[in-house]
Amino acid sequence: MDMNCSFRLAPRQAGISLIELLIGITAGLIILAGAIALFSSALKSSKTNLAMTNLDQELRAAMDIIARNMRRAGYYAKAPGNGSDLPQYGPNNPFQIGGNEMRLGGNCDTDGKCDCITFTYDGDASGGTAATEPSGVSDVFGFRYGNNAIKMLRSRAAPPSCSDPNPSLQWEAITDETVDVTKLTFQYESRAGLAGSTSVILPLALNLYYPQYNVPNACTCGSDPCPCGCPYDSTDPNVVEDCLQMRTVIVTISGRLERDHNTTMSIRERVKIPNDRYCTEDDGSGHGNPSC
């Protein structure tokens, strides 16, 4: 008996070679390394952005406090009862005279940039000045740079002062310890013709007696002081120039993170003081007094 037998061979099972395995592992490691590098870069970028946001919030919060208080400088809440009270809203405003007016001080450079400012206003709307307020009430304010921080003055001392040390003054830091403030300056916007002179630290003022001088470079400063932006009329020693100070202060703050000095920022703001100040320019000797 013939038997025809057919046999089907099972297919050979092919595996991967050692070389193929090494190539696959290498490719996987390259992809993993790229993913790790991408994650690390994203994490670093997120950390940097968070640090910049923190620094920006701290500096802008300080700027907001400074600008909000400065805009109230010279405010007087007393309502006039009769005609005799009206002059107190002009040249005799108690928050604009007698050293209570806005002043720049501390360390000042030749461009009139100072690291301290003081001023007063009727903070509690009582109509009284700082010297007459009850205990715990303050109408005296100021800001200055010191010890890598911005400090705010809250005191009953009158008139206010940038002097340090002074036991009658209370300066409190308003910036967080995580931020190093490297710069705080206050500078009046001044008449262009005064640039480079010692009068540059004075605010822009309108000359009410000589209105023709109220244009840039209408006159130049000589050896005499420059009240209201122009020399006093020395030919008429009886003239007392009336001035209207229109104050705008440029505030600049620079800082860095205390734990990372490479994270730095600088912000700048123009603060217009709504309460203009009336004053007279005369030192009693026939020449203007630039301190007004």
Of the two residues 144 and 96, the one the predictor is more confident about is 144
The residues spanned by each domain of the chain are: 48-281
Q: Which residue has the higher pLDDT, 211 or 96?
A: 96
Q: How confident is the model at residue 253 (pLDDT cuts 50, 70, 90)?
A: very high
- Region of poorest pLDDT, from 79-83, 154-158, 219-223: 219-223
The predicted pLDDT at position 185 comes to 95
Average pLDDT over residues 112-136: 74
Most confident of 2-6, 72-76, 216-220: 72-76
Find the mean pLDDT for residues 222-240.
50
Among 5-14, 65-74, 183-192, 205-214, which stretch is predicted with the lowest mean pLDDT?
A: 5-14
Best CA proximity match to 291, nearest among 125, 13, 102: 102
Q: What pLDDT does residue 148 have?
A: 92
Quote the pLDDT of residue 288: 47
pLDDT band of residue 142 (cuts 50, 70, 90) is very high
Asked if the model's pLDDT at residue 252 lies above 90, the reply is yes
Can you give the pTM of this predicted structure? 0.73
Per-residue confidence (pLDDT) for residue 151, from 0 to 100: 93
**Mean of the pLDDT values across residues 208-220?**
61
pLDDT in tens, 88-99: 556 778 888 878
Averaged pLDDT of the chain = 74
Q: What is the mean pLDDT of residues 189-210?
A: 60
- What's the mean pLDDT in 3-16? 60
For the chain, give the percent of residues with pLDDT over 70: 62
- Residue 205 is predicted with a pLDDT of 74
pLDDT at 153: 86
